[in-house]
C-alpha cells in the first residue's frame, strides 16, 4: 500500500491544503502512518493529537489517528484547542514523544493542515518531505496502537498564569483589556484565562466557528482589528489583543487604537526580559524593524537577525540558547520561564506582565517607540522556478555595487535612508519585499531601489504591491 500527496501540500514549515481538492482523509492517514513509523524508529511510542475549530478538523483527526495507530503508535487525544495547547501537551506529558495539531492556521475556511513536533523539536523541511517519500514507497511499519483522551485545557491555562508570578495583584486590578479570539480555536482557553485574571475583560468572538463569520482570523492585517479598535474606543480600555485561527500568533493595539506590530511587541518583551536576564540574546526575523535590533543592543542585549518561519526560529533558539524570539507575523517565542514555542495567549500574559514590571502603560510603551515609515509586507507573484533565482541575481548585482547586504534570508540592504528587503517565500510562489525609512521621501527612494532590482531581473512590482 502506498500514497501520493498533491504536489502543493508538503510545505516548508507545515502541511497544508484545500479540503476536497488537495487534502483529505487519505492524506491524514498517510501522515499518521509516516509520522508513527519515524517515531518508532527513533524509539518513541506515543503522540499527542489536537485540532482546531475548522469544520473539516474532526474528520482529519479521525483519519490521522487511524494512521498513527495502524503503524503501532499510541495516541493521546487532547481535543479541540489552540495549536500551543497541543505544544504544551507534548512538552508537559512525560509519556509523549511527539505531537500533531490539525490546523489551517490563518488560511481561509476551506483550508486545513498539520503542524508537528517530534521528540521535542520542530518537525519541518526535510522531515516533511520524508513523509512524502515514505508514503510513495509504502515504507510504513504495521502495528496496533491505542487511543485515549485527556483533558488538558485547565492545566494549560494555569501554566500560562505563571507568567504573572511575582506581580502584585493590585497592580493588575485596574487593567481594562479587550480580547478578540476571531472565532478561532483559542476561544475556550481565552474564556478560562480571563476568568482567572484580575481586572476588567471584554471578550469578542470566543465562540469557535470554522466559518469565521465576523472577520478573518489573521491579526497581522489591520482590517481584521476593526472590531477590537471599536471596542477599545467605546469602552475606553487600556489596550486590545487579538489571535489568529489557531492561537499561535498575536496582534495588539494600544489604548489609542494604534497597532503594535510584531517587532514592536518584541521591543516591549525585550525591555522586560533584559531587566531579568541582562545581556540575553534575542532573535527576530529579517522582516523586523531596525529600531528593534537597535533597541535590544541599546539595552545591553545581543540582537540576532534570523530567517523567517516559526520552525526555523524555534530551531535557532535551541541552537544558541536564546530566551526570547519573535517574528513580524506575530509569532512570539518565550523560552524564558516557558517552553520556547509560539503561544499567543502566553504572549498576551507576558505583555500584561511587562507593562506592570516596567511601570508603564501599553499605550505609553507604544508611544515611546521611534516613528518609522514603512511598508507592510509586499507580495507579488513570480514563477516558482524563478523566485530564488531572482534573489540570487539581486545578491550578485549588489555585491559588485559595494552595498551593505545581509543575506541571512534573501537580501536585506542597509542604506543612509533606512533599509529594504527582498526574499523568496518558502510557502508560496511569491517574492516578499519590505522597506523602512524615517521619512516618506526616504521610503520612496528605497522602493525605487527595489523596483530597479526587479526590473534588472525582468520583473515589475504588481499593483497589489504598492505602498
pLDDT for 428 = 79
Please, what sign has the CA dihedral across residues 246, 252, 255, 258? negative
Give the active site residues.
Answer: 105
Alpha-carbon gap, residue 82 to 84, rounded angstroms: 5
Alpha-carbon gap, residue 315 to 321, rounded angstroms: 10
pLDDT for 463 = 55
Strand partners, 342: 333
Q: pLDDT tens string for the chain (467 positions)?
A: 899 999 999 988 889 999 999 999 999 999 999 999 999 999 999 999 999 999 999 999 999 999 999 999 999 999 999 999 999 999 999 999 999 999 998 888 899 999 999 999 999 999 999 999 999 999 999 999 999 999 999 999 999 999 999 999 999 999 999 999 999 999 999 999 999 999 999 999 999 999 999 999 999 999 999 999 999 999 999 999 999 999 999 999 999 999 999 999 999 999 999 999 999 999 999 999 999 999 999 999 999 999 998 889 999 999 999 999 999 999 999 999 999 999 999 999 999 999 999 999 999 999 999 999 999 889 888 988 899 999 999 999 998 887 889 999 999 999 988 999 999 988 778 899 999 999 999 999 999 999 999 999 998 876 544 33
Quick one: 156-367 is in which CATH superfamily?
Alpha-D-Glucose-1,6-Bisphosphate, subunit A, domain 3 (3.40.120.10)
Residue 352: which H helix or E strand, with range? Answer: helix 344-358
Check: CB of residue 102 under 8 Å from CB of residue 51.
yes
For domain 373-465, which architecture applies?
Answer: 2-Layer Sandwich (3.30)
Per-residue exposure over 26-48, b if at least 16 CB sit within 10 Å of its own CB, e if not: ebbbbbbbbbbbbbbeeebbbbb
**Residue ranges of domains in the chain:** 15-151, 156-367, 373-465
pLDDT in tens, 48-81: 999 999 999 999 999 999 999 999 999 999 999 9
Instruction: Say which residue the cell 499561535 belongs to.
Output: 248
- CA quadruple 288, 164, 198, 264: dihedral, nearest 10: -10
Strand partners, 421: 412, 434
Quick one: 15-151 is in which CATH superfamily?
Alpha-D-Glucose-1,6-Bisphosphate, subunit A, domain 3 (3.40.120.10)
pTM for this prediction: 0.95
Angle at the Cα of 35 (from 103 to 87), degrees rounded to 5?
A: 45
Strand partners, 122: 117
pLDDT in tens, 253-277: 999 999 999 999 999 999 999 999 9
List the one residue out of 310, 325, 314 whose CA is nearest residue 280.
325
DSSP string, 223-290: GGGHHHHHHHHHHT-SEEEEE-TTSS-EEEEETTS-EE-HHHHHHHHHHHHHHHSTT-EEEEETTS-H
Instruction: Say which residue the cell 487579538 belongs to.
Output: 242
- How far does CA 252 lie from the centroid of its chain? 14
Q: Would the CATH topology of 15-151 be identical to that of 156-367? A: yes
Amino acid at each position: 500500500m502506498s500514497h501520493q500527496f498533491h504536489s502543493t501540500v508538503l510545505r516548508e514549515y507545515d502541511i497544508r491544503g484545500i479540503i476536497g481538492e488537495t487534502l483529505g482523509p487519505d492524506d491524514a492517514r498517510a501522515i499518521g502512518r509516516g509520522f508513527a513509523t519515524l517515531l518508532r524508529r527513533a524509539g518513541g511510542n506515543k503522540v499527542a493529537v489536537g485540532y482546531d475549530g475548522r469544520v473539516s478538523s474532526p474528520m482529519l483527526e479521525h483519519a490521522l489517528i487511524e494512521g498513527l495507530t495502524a503503524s503501532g503508535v499510541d495516541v493521546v487525544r487532547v481535543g479541540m484547542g489552540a495549536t500551543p495547547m497541543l505544544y504544551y501537551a507534548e512538552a508537559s506529558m512525560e509519556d509523549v514523544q511527539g505531537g500533531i495539531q490539525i490546523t489551517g492556521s490563518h488560511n481561509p475556511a476551506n483550508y486545513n493542515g498539520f503542524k508537528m513536533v517530534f521528540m521535542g523539536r520542530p518537525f519541518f523541511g526535510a522531515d516533511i518531505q520524508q513523509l512524502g517519500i515514505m508514503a510513495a514507497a509504502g515504507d510504513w511499519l504495521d502495528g496496533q496502537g491505542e487511543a485515549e483522551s485527556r483533558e488538558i485545557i485547565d492545566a494549560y491555562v494555569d501554566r500560562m498564569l505563571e507568567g504573572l508570578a511575582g506581580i502584585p495583584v493590585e497592580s493588575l486590578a485596574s487593567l481594562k483589556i479587550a480580547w478578540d479570539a476571531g472565532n478561532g480555536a483559542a476561544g475556550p482557553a481565552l474564556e478560562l484565562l480571563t476568568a482567572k485574571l484580575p481586572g476588567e475583560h471584554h471578550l469578542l468572538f470566543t465562540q469557535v466557528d470554522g466559518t469565521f463569520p465576523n472577520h478573518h482570523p489573521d491579526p497581522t492585517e489591520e482590517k481584521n482589528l476593526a472590531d477590537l479598535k471599536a471596542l477599545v474606543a467605546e469602552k475606553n480600555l487600556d489596550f486590545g489583543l487579538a489571535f489568529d485561527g489557531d492561537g499561535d500568533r498575536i496582534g495588539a493595539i494600544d489604548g489609542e487604537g494604534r497597532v503594535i506590530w510584531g517587532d514592536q511587541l518584541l521591543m516591549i518583551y525585550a525591555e522586560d526580559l533584559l531587566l531579568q536576564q541582562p545581556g540575553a540574546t534575542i532573535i527576530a526575523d529579517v522582516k523586523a524593524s531596525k529600531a528593534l535590533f537597535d533597541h535590544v543592543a541599546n539595552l545591553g542585549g545581543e540582537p540576532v537577525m534570523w530567517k523567517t518561519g516559526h520552525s526555523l526560529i524555534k530551531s535557532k533558539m535551541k541552537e544558541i540558547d536564546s530566551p526570547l524570539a519573535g517574528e513580524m507575523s506575530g509569532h512570539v517565542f518565550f523560552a524564558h520561564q516557558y517552553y520556547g514555542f509560539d503561544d499567543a495567549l502566553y504572549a498576551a500574559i507576558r505583555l500584561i506582565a511587562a507593562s506592570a514590571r516596567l511601570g508603564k502603560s501599553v499605550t505609553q510603551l507604544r508611544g515611546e517607540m521611534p516613528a518609522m515609515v514603512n511598508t507592510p509586507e509586499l507580495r507579488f507573484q513570480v514563477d516558482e522556478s524563478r523566485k530564488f533565482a531572482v534573489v540570487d541575481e539581486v545578491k550578485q548585482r549588489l555585491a559588485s555595487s559595494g552595498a551593505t547586504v545581509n543575506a541571512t534570508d534573501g537580501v536585506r540592504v542597509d542604506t543612509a535612508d533606512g533599509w529594504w528587503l527582498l526574499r523568496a517565500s518558502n510557502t508560496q510562489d511569491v517574492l516578499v519585499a519590505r522597506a523602512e525609512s524615517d521619512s516618506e521621501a526616504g521610503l520612496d527612494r528605497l522602493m525605487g531601489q527595489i523596483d530597479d532590482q526587479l526590473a534588472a531581473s525582468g520583473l515589475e512590482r504588481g499593483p497589489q504591491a504598492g505602498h
